[in-house]
Amino acid sequence: MKLRRCAFVLAVLVLLLAAPAGACRKEAPDPWLVYHETSSLLDPAAPGFGVDTGRQEQPLHYPMAYAVYASAEAHRAVACQDEEAWQNAVGAALWLVEHNDLDSDGEIGWGIPFAWDAGGDGSVNPAHTEYAITTALAIRALLDVWDGAAQFEGRSASLRSRLLDSALGGFDTFRDCYDVTPYGPVFLYSTAPDDGFHIANTHAMLVGQFQRLSAYPVAPETGVELERVAAAGFGYLRNRMNRDSAGVAYWNYADDRPAGGTPRPNDAVHSGYTLEGVLDYQLYSGTEAILLRDEDVAANIGRFLDGSLVWEFPAGPDELPARLFGVGQLLYLSARLDRDELAASLYSALAEQYRAGGRLVLRPAGDDLRVYPRQIAHALLGLSYYLC
């Protein structure tokens, strides 16, 4: 059962009044309380500014955090008719528009704000190299805010034009950034020359958002090209899908080709991205060749759950608990698909295992209490769909 209460103070009062005196059974905290606790950790004027697990010593602006935060607040704004959430969403989306070419190479796209050896092969990408996953999440955010503009923005035509132009710019950057493989074309991990990795989740997210983008008011020839590119990319996902011994569909993180790839399964957040990309392609293409049904997605997510714990990999107790953004992404998908029992289990895990000192943390029972905007934004996305 999705929760649709939008009055935070009232919700907390009702919770307190309803609690029986002397009750000893531990219950998950009110979801609105957790949402507002968590959102208060980020500055709505710059929700993507902070430290990251990969760069803990210096706060920087992270486009991924701006993008996921914009999607979370855009959904909350529309579903709960919340004006403050709408302003937050627009602010984050406009930051993406205004910073859509931070490496000044003339190509629209988004990445990370520090130099990084993405493949661990000694080739270091400059800061703000365009990465497929960050660009896909930014396009999703721009379209999420585009969808909400009709309800909240009096000058929606101007706002929508800016959002759509940046989204199309991301497509232009990656439309030819792919390898042709025996399984079909696969988008590369980034625009860097040495990042020729075949990664399922980044590819899937681009496929889903390109197909979605084709449904918006773009030039007819652009719409045809978006659909063509997305359909070809979907073929790769169809050909690379696996099933485990229980028949559950899943994808490995990467091909075993080219050399240096790894066939390991996806972890929680990257599995969630792959599932979302497939779902969005199916939703916006109207294809009759359904690769994943809702029950397939739920079964895949269930592989990461073990009682009240969420694991980083589906193998179970020998692995680490999932990072916060993995739990947030899986909660988002479960709530989006109205898988109420699954969403409730993930919310309980989030609120009970990841909450310390009134804030959500990277992993349960850890001593790392730093605020990581990319992690927090994913949690807000899951909570937004669970609440509304």
344-383 per-position pLDDT tens digit: 999 999 999 999 988 999 999 878 889 999 999 999 999 9
Reported as a single tens digit per residue, the pLDDT across 48-83 is 999 999 888 899 999 999 999 999 999 999 999 999
Instruction: Name the residue among 350, 362, 353 with its Cα closest to residue 386.
Output: 350
Place of tokens 């990257």: 270
DSSP string, 327-363: HHHHHHHHHHTT-HHHHHHHHHHHHHHSEETTEE-SS
Reported as a single tens digit per residue, the pLDDT across 330-348 is 999 999 999 999 999 999 9
Instruction: Name the residue among 322, 327, 331, 310 with its Cα closest to residue 385.
Output: 331
CA–CA distance, 216 with 164 (Å, rounded to integer): 8
8-387 CATH choice from 2.30.30.100, 1.50.10.20, 3.50.50.60, 3.40.50.1950: 1.50.10.20
Residue type for position 270: H
For residue 54, what are its two tokens?
């990969």
| Strand 305-306 to 49-52 pairing | unpaired
Reported as a single tens digit per residue, the pLDDT across 255-294 is 755 455 556 789 999 999 999 999 999 999 987 779 999 9
Reported as a single tens digit per residue, the pLDDT across 181-229 is 999 999 999 999 888 889 999 999 999 999 999 999 999 999 999 999 9
Residues 6+ apart with CB under 8 A from 236: 181, 183, 184, 185, 186, 203
Distance of CA 361 to the CA centre of its chain: 18
Instruction: Name the residue among 256, 113, 152 with its Cα closest to residue 197.
Output: 256
Residues in the chain, overall count: 388
Provide the pLDDT for residue 106.
96
Instruction: Name the residue among 31, 88, 15 with its Cα closest to residue 331.
Output: 31
CA–CA distance, 92 with 68 (Å, rounded to integer): 9
Give the 3-state secondary structure of residue 185.
strand
